[in-house]
């Protein structure tokens, strides 16, 4: 039997992904680190034309912002290091304050508005924490939740106001179909309750966590899992890999991400099924 021809680009359904890098990274660096994942998604979803957008966070970090930073001998001034963050964590406040988070959210809102609509969002570490915030912000009714929490003080901290960039004139984006959070975590304390509570995050989220992750505490990752509706653990939406703080590129974890995406896309297209390639024909992840 002759093999099925691969659909042309013009006949494939678009699948647009927003990719959010981690603290001290950048869009181009995360692009390089996630190529095994995006390549596997495109390879195993031949009926879709996958595009991935990699914005860089707005806050350029200084050496003092980076744990364990050591100056290099490259001759590049320390102030020119290519390391960025979506916010800086200030431990001088109790509970900790995310300084610059409004700028980080505004950067994402601009990309959503100008380059959307997106189907899903994938983030790593700080970018995963931000991805969970973004899917919540795009859900209906979330603005009212923020307004209620902004009136209440818990442990001396009032809830953060609804981010202005997500209600600016002209901003428009539908709720996302899914999120994948690698080494994600929940923002600390009651200040950021609006992202996660009354109700919990309704958008389907796949959590991929490293059992040897020494950067993000297990309790913080579990707090994000608990902030998602339903029972993510029992529903197969929490996956552990036997490594540390990175995106796993081994086949089982790439396949798990693709299966999750397929399930969410099917929800929006009835019983339509993606015809997958035989695993023996797939490229080995790199």
**Residue 201 per-residue DSSP state:** B
Is there a cis peptide before residue 199, judged by omega within 30 degrees of 0?
yes
Instruction: Map tokens 């927003």 to a residue.
Output: 18
Catalytic residue among 65, 113, 245, 255, which? 245
Is 245 a residue of the active site? yes
In degrees and rounded to multiples of 5, residue 68 shows phi and psi of: 75, 15
Using an 8 Å Cβ cutoff, are 209 and 221 in contact?
Answer: yes
Cα first-last separation, the chain: 31
Q: How far is CA 122 from CA 134, 163, 183, 211, 247, in A?
A: 11, 20, 11, 20, 11
* Residues 153, 105: Cα–Cα separation, whole Å: 23
Is 21 a residue of the active site? no
Catalytic residue among 119, 213, 221, 249, which? 213
Is 125 a residue of the active site? yes
Using an 8 Å Cβ cutoff, are 240 and 209 in contact?
Answer: yes
Catalytic residue among 125, 183, 221, 249, which? 125
Catalytic site residues? 125, 213, 245
């Amino acid at each position: 039997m002759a093999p099925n021809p691969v659909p042309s680009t013009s006949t494939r359904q678009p699948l647009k992904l927003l990719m959010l890098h981690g603290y001290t990274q950048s869009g181009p660096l995360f692009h390089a680190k996630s190529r095994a994942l995006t390549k596997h998604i495109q390879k195993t979803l031949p009926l879709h034309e996958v595009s991935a957008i990699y914005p860089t966070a707005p806050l350029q970090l200084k050496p003092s912002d980076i744990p364990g930073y050591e100056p290099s001998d490259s001759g590049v001034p320390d102030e020119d290091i290519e390391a960025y963050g979506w916010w800086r964590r200030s431990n001088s406040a109790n509970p900790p304050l995310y300084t610059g988070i409004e700028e980080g959210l505004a950067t994402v809102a601009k990309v959503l508005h100008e380059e959307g609509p997106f189907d899903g969002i994938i983030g790593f570490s700080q970018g995963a924490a931000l991805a969970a915030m973004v899917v919540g912000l795009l859900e209906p009714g979330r603005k009212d939740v923020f307004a209620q929490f902004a009136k209440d003080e818990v442990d001396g901290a009032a809830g953060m106001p609804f981010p202005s960039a997500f209600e600016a004139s002209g901003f428009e984006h539908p709720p996302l179909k899914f999120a994948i959070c690698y080494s994600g975590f929940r923002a600390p304390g009651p200040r950021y309750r609006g992202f996660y509570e009354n109700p919990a995050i309704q958008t389907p989220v796949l959590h991929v966590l490293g059992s040897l992750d020494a950067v993000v505490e297990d309790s913080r990752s579990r707090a994000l899992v608990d902030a998602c509706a339903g029972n993510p653990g029992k529903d197969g939406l929490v996956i552990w890999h036997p490594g540390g703080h990175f995106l796993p590129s081994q086949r089982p974890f790439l396949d798990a991400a693709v299966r999750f995406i397929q399930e969410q896309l099917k929800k929006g297209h009835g019983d339509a099924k993606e015809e997958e390639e035989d695993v023996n024909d797939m490229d080995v992840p790199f």
